[in-house]
Structure 1
Amino acid sequence: MKNKRRMRCEHFLFALTLLPLTQVPALAQDQADTEAVEDMVVTASRTEERAIDVPITTEVITRDQIEMSGVNDIGDLIGKYVTGHYHKYSGILSPVGLRGFKTDSHGSDLNGYVLLLIDGHRVGTGNAAKLNLDRIEKVEVIKGPSSALYGSAAMGGVINLITKKGDGELGGSIGGEIGSFDYYRGQASMGGEVNDKIRFFASVSGETMDDYDTVDYGTAYNTGVDKINVGGNVVYTLNDAHAFRLGGNYSDLTSESPDWAGDTYSYYDSTTEQDNDKSTGYTDLEYNGDYLNGVLHWKAVFYYLWDKNQWNTGTIDPESNQTKYIDQTLGTDHQFTWKINDWNTLLAGFTLDSLEKESSSVVNYQPSMPYTPGLDYDNQAVFLQDSLDLLDNRLNILAAVRYDRFDVTTKEAETGTYENFNERSEDYSHVSPKIGVGMKFLDEMLRVRANMGEGFKSPTASQLSADYYHSSTGMHYLGNPDLDPETSMTYDVGFDVYLEGLTFKADYFTTDYEDKIVDETYDDNGVSTTTYVNHGDATISGFEFSLEWAFSETFNLPFAGSFWSNMSFNTEKEDELTGEDILNVSDYEIKSGLTMGYAGFQGQLSHSLVGPQMIKNWDTYLTEEKDSFDYWDLTLRYRFMEVWEVKASILNIFDQDYEWVMGYPMAERNYRIGLTYNF
């Protein structure tokens, strides 16, 4: 009976998704506005430039693509549009990856190999599921090492979230959405120019969903989520030369935690009540000033980041057993851009970061030792970049280098008593270079480019300076102060073709990954001891292609229509230590879509295909191949009476059984429909 009721509900929602089609006018009117990929980018060079003038390929996800994606967080957005890697668990946990590297599996900002930024500075987490899309104007994705400008963790690349600043007339929106699995969402936003000096954008949203059903397994128990997001920006323009921006966001994020019956990895236990709190937030103050008649520009950012990960795992009372980690970061980033002449721009700057991790645990209502102790992490960095635009801007050269110094300390946790805890501090430094060259031909219809750069990841405090005995594991953890950072050297070449209505990009890259840090356990006078060593290299190579074709422009059609496809093929991904494939790196990924618009109607059909990859099976602790999978989504939007908008999505249209991570099957076919009033 429950399934029949659910089917009737889904059929009703499906009928509602078709309702806008019945209201499309029969005669052609003005084409629907479909937002093209923005020509200006900022992440690759830290300054706003035309994309074609920066010899580093930047993939841009526009606001229109965000709205037509049918998803609400950065993780699902990356999974839909960007090839590289997506690792989606049930609940609120989604590491994302680029070119064989990914953010930390548990969301730690410091432990990842891909860097998440917001408006150019660290966002404070590696968990992309924590970052909602209400305030995001566009997303810029840089594939390949970016440590020369952004430091540690930027080995695979950088994903920069650029927020709305309130451009244009004052206005706002309020709307709601319902969907399968008791999904409800409410949202309100407002922004625009108050006067010639003040503009702002603010938004608030709430979202909830119950346990979802899968195609073959049934109900995935303990997968419900509750989210509240509030944030915004206020920009004050003092005059033509000086402006300030105050921004921030807070996300109250709670979800249930799936558990497995009898410790079997792939079977959900409906009787075990678990939940977690993964709230996160930040605030930042940015200054932009022009000096010497615009020859010199100073950008300064001050930021505070806060990130919480708390797991309540008691069988009867979830709070009886819990583990909590809170990261707090104070930082500032300054860059000075000197336009020496029309063809030479010099950028110099520095970054200061100070992070403190607090860790605590409760076992049977009593304070206990968490698995990971606390830490202090201080980073001081200086960077320099020279940008040359030669031969009437046909030849573009970008060279950068960064020096980082780190001071790390392993600290006792807030709870529990460690045996023989030795609080140690270690420091080290690293230099990261990068150079890129681009050449334009045929009146900028063709560009050829090449890049070479190094990425690195800092060792963690535990890997460098731990020295304590953990009674619950019976293990002595001993850091290695002689560790080198993990590094990667990447070489890539490519070309871009720009024709009327069509853009095609092709890349070949190869990465030498060196000094991988692994743990080693040995017996020290009867005490099991774990330490860390640089041991093992890897090679990752492949091709990447991108196609965007506005075919309605090519054929002068009376409606808007475009096709896009992003593809990656990893031809080599060998771990030289084991001689086997690197785990969690697919052989190929193809993510494509078709967008159509006519009058007030717009629709997008998207398809994601992820190839096979080697994984660790946590049932057997053996390495095995995970099969390829694919799924389709459809989003429809209709705007009417100038102020109303109805939007509907069918996710997993063909009811395909798939999972990004083994043991975490994704939802069956499901529906969402919403109504928004714009004012």
Structure 2
Amino acid sequence: MLKKIRWMAVVLLTGLVMYPLPLMADHQGAGQNSTLVLEPTVVTAGRIKEKKSDITTNVTIYTREDLEASSIQDLSDLMLKEGFMVREYPNSTISVAIRGFSTDTHGNDLSSSVLILVNGRRAGTGNLAKISMDNVERVEIIRGPASVQYGASALGGVINVITRKGKGPFTASLEGTLGSWDYKKGTVSMSGAVSQFDFDVTGSKSSQGDYDTGSGSEYRNTGFDSKERFSFNGGFTFLPQNRVGISYSDYSGDHIGSPDYLSANDPDDYVNHGIKSYDVYYDGQTRDDFLFWNIRYFKGKDEYETHDGAMTPSRTYWRDTDSQGAQAQITAKWAVAQITAGWDWVDYEVSNSNTVAGKENTYENPAGFFMVKTKLLEDKLVLTGGGRYDEYEVTSDTGKVKEDDNWSFSCGAVYKITGELSVRANYAQAFKMPTADQLFMLTDYSAWGMGIWSGNENLKPESSETYEAGIDYTRGSLTGSLTYFHTDFEDRIAYKSIGGGVTQYTNVQGGTLDGVEGSLQLDIGAMFGWDWEIVPYGSFTTFLEYEDDETNEKFQYTPEWSAAYGMRVNHVEYGLNARLNFTHYGRHEITDYEGTGATTLGPDTVADFSVGKELFDMNKFGKIRLKGEINNLFDRDYALVQGYPSPGRTFYLGLNYTY
């Protein structure tokens, strides 16, 4: 406990020591190099565009410039570099945790406790490897529950990936990247707007060979034959701020190595997986900005299959998830208040190797919600509240049906003490519904030594209540934030032996998650009026308590400390940017599936370095830019999952031409 207090004191003292520095920047920068910085907006927290300073929860935003500064291939690369707890298997099966809750990589997003969205609707997967970064405008992350806004599975938080829309004159780009382990990637994109029409289209293909670990060991079967990504987003604006659009995305991974533990390296097993979806939507508003509305229909398919190369035929397990859904919402804005109300509907059909032939498990979930926000005391005080009602019906492949419903509520407040300093508080409920397997499965795994696994039709939804309070400070070139959160987690779904060789899903007590999040950054260049942007930064999450209420044991795969820190440098005139980033994962409890006797994993600190330089600006003929990156700069031998060591020092070099 004293160690945590010391660290918190360091963060707070750093902010206090730096407090007078922005005053120097304000004085020295007056009348020279003056730049107006617009406050970022965020759409995830309240499902509409809002100022970040009006949000009562802790929200993090990554812009397009942040994403393009390094060789980010999928969503997991971003989350890794930003200090989130990521569990990554070599076969592109990747989960991320927020505040002790994580996505689920082995099923659809109904099994997750962190919800991934694409443009505000459910992505249909909990596997970060399937979410492309090729066409992303920004990523917004709610740290903490968001079931009132988005329904089931948002206990730990929400990751909203927002894709690009075409605007301005026509642009096109071509990029090629080479890297260690015979990595190759080519990307082509086009974007623009003509009259009332706009479009953005991007396609890429990559491949990679087997890699070596930080200790120099060859890790066979860790490469992949190809990963292909394609996306399209087009629209027609028929009135000011009224746009109809259609989007399509397709990811396919072919022959992705599934090597098992390094200690039992399997040379021929592999995975094929993919996800595709399309959306049709309409965003509109009245001329007087009083009413805003959104209507969307989406449909998708998630595919996964494993292959044992030593068997004929080779396919050993497959799972297909067909999903569709709709959203409709409207917002009315008055001078001091706004009300948003809407309706959501999602429908899943899941079939796999174990379901009855020609049948599937289905999940249907209609829901209604409302959210209210008011501003008082000359907009210094912001009050929010909301509620949501969900109904769900789960039907098994054998015809068994489970129906249930759930109410969720939230409320919060922000008080802006000054233009630079504000405090906030929030209370929110969240839930996760049982899946069809958890309710109805009866599968005999005796041949693998695991006996019979049974569902439980009496399962209740998992639920949580989270209280948080935070402080945000922005002045001149200094930005800082500190958030305390406390979560009571109830009716956790686990599995227990009930005798006779039967393991059954059941509700257990749950647990308590209590911790602190913080971030701090200072633009030294802006402080002294330089043309250079020189920004040391850091962010962290520490848990004060993360225990199971029934066993008093710490939650597994939850490090006491995780952090990201480093320095970024940018010079617009020179077309130069660079970043040195360190990611730290503290020691955390694990289950020893490998059989080595280990009970913990970590701690580890991994460094990455990236740099980009504009080589030629040919005016109307375009620009050429060179990008380089070194991941695992110091060649650390580390693993994000026990027995699956990550790659050693890895180099990337890319060349981009933009017209």
Selected match of 2:511 from 531, 534, 538: 538
Measured in 2, the distance between the counterparts of 1:486 and 1:191 equals 43
Measured in 1, the distance between the counterparts of 2:221 and 2:487 equals 40
- CA gap 1:199/1:47 in 2 versus in 1, 3 angstroms: same
Equivalent position of 1:69 in the other structure: 70
- Structure 1: which 5+ runs fail to align? 1-30, 362-367, 412-421
Equivalent position of 1:47 in the other structure: 48
1:360: how far off? 2.6
Equivalent position of 2:640 in the other structure: 660
- CA gap 1:621/1:636 in 2 versus in 1, 3 angstroms: closer
- CA gap 1:34/1:612 in 2 versus in 1, 3 angstroms: farther
Measured in 2, the distance between the counterparts of 1:322 and 1:621 equals 27
Measured in 2, the distance between the counterparts of 1:672 and 1:241 equals 41
- Cα-to-partner distance string for 1:407-450 (whole Å, 9 max, x where unaligned): 00111xxxxxxxxxx430111000111111100022x2101000
Contact 1:147 1:432 in 2 (8 A): yes
Contact 1:463 1:480 in 2 (8 A): yes
Measured in 1, the distance between the counterparts of 2:304 and 2:654 equals 31
Contact 2:57 2:144 in 1 (8 A): no
Equivalent position of 2:439 in the other structure: 464
Question: In structure 1, what residue type is equivalent to 2:601?
Answer: K
Measured in 1, the distance between the counterparts of 2:149 and 2:516 equals 24
Equivalent position of 1:9 in the other structure: none
Contact 2:33 2:529 in 1 (8 A): no
Secondary structure of 1:65's counterpart equals helix
Equivalent position of 1:111 in the other structure: 111
1:69: how far off? 2.9
Q: How do residues 163-312 of structure 1 correspond to structure 2 at under 5 angstroms?
A: 163-195=163-195, 197-216=196-215, 218-225=217-224, 226-260=226-260, 265-269=261-265, 272-291=267-286, 293-312=288-307
Point out the more displaced range, 166-175 or 490-499: 166-175
- Cα-to-partner distance string for 1:107-140 (whole Å, 9 max, x where unaligned): 5311010000000001111000111111111100
Question: In structure 2, what residue type is equivalent to 1:387?
Answer: K
Equivalent position of 2:388 in the other structure: 402
- Cα-to-partner distance string for 1:17-75 (whole Å, 9 max, x where unaligned): xxxxxxxxxxxxxx999998961111011110110012222101111111123321101
Contact 1:568 1:589 in 2 (8 A): yes
Contact 2:395 2:401 in 1 (8 A): yes
Equivalent position of 1:360 in the other structure: 353
Q: How do residues 125-140 of structure 1 correspond to structure 2 at under 5 angstroms?
A: 125-140=125-140
1:671: how far off? 0.8
- CA gap 1:206/1:38 in 2 versus in 1, 3 angstroms: farther
Equivalent position of 2:482 in the other structure: 506
Selected match of 1:648 from 628, 651, 654: 628
- Cα-to-partner distance string for 1:295-349 (whole Å, 9 max, x where unaligned): 22220110012111110114155x434211010111001111111x211100000
Equivalent position of 1:330 in the other structure: 324
Selected match of 1:376 from 362, 367, 379: 362
Equivalent position of 1:153 in the other structure: 153
Secondary structure of 1:672's counterpart equals strand
Contact 1:468 1:476 in 2 (8 A): yes
Measured in 2, the distance between the counterparts of 1:635 and 1:306 equals 35
Contact 1:424 1:467 in 2 (8 A): no
1:464: how far off? 2.2
Equivalent position of 2:5 in the other structure: none
Measured in 2, the distance between the counterparts of 1:522 and 1:653 equals 49
1:623: how far off? 6.7
Measured in 2, the distance between the counterparts of 1:202 and 1:170 equals 12
- CA gap 1:467/1:222 in 2 versus in 1, 3 angstroms: closer
Taking only aligned residues, the RMSD between alpha carbons, in angstroms, comes to: 2.4
Secondary structure of 2:221's counterpart equals coil
Question: In structure 2, what residue type is equivalent to 1:393?
Answer: D
Contact 1:400 1:434 in 2 (8 A): yes
- CA gap 1:236/1:67 in 2 versus in 1, 3 angstroms: same
Selected match of 2:530 from 557, 568, 580: 557
TM-score of the pair, normalised by structure 1: 0.87
Q: Percent identity of the aligned residues?
A: 30
- Structure 2: which 5+ runs fail to align? 1-31, 618-622
Selected match of 1:584 from 557, 579, 583: 557
- CA gap 1:540/1:255 in 2 versus in 1, 3 angstroms: farther
Point out the more displaced range, 116-125 or 567-576: 567-576
1:245: how far off? 1.4
- CA gap 1:194/1:472 in 2 versus in 1, 3 angstroms: farther
Equivalent position of 2:654 in the other structure: 674
Q: How do residues 342-491 of structure 1 correspond to structure 2 at under 5 angstroms?
A: 342-360=335-353, 374-411=360-397, 422-442=398-418, 444-466=419-441, 477-491=453-467
1:291: how far off? 4.0
Measured in 2, the distance between the counterparts of 1:33 and 1:151 equals 44
Question: In structure 1, what residue type is equivalent to 2:131?
Answer: L
Secondary structure of 1:609's counterpart equals strand
Measured in 2, the distance between the counterparts of 1:407 and 1:530 equals 24
Selected match of 2:544 from 571, 584, 588: 571
Measured in 2, the distance between the counterparts of 1:183 and 1:103 equals 27
1:251: how far off? 0.7
1:529: how far off? 3.6
Measured in 2, the distance between the counterparts of 1:235 and 1:550 equals 38
Measured in 1, the distance between the counterparts of 2:626 and 2:393 equals 53
- Cα-to-partner distance string for 1:430-474 (whole Å, 9 max, x where unaligned): 0111111100022x2101000111111111112223457678579
Contact 1:37 1:60 in 2 (8 A): no
What is the number of equivalent residue pairs in this alignment?
A: 619
Equivalent position of 1:92 in the other structure: 92
1:627: how far off? 2.2
1:199: how far off? 1.0
Measured in 1, the distance between the counterparts of 2:576 and 2:35 equals 11
Question: In structure 2, what residue type is equivalent to 1:216?
Answer: S
Equivalent position of 1:27 in the other structure: none
Measured in 1, the distance between the counterparts of 2:331 and 2:453 equals 45
- CA gap 1:616/1:36 in 2 versus in 1, 3 angstroms: farther
Measured in 2, the distance between the counterparts of 1:436 and 1:159 equals 20
1:661: how far off? 0.8
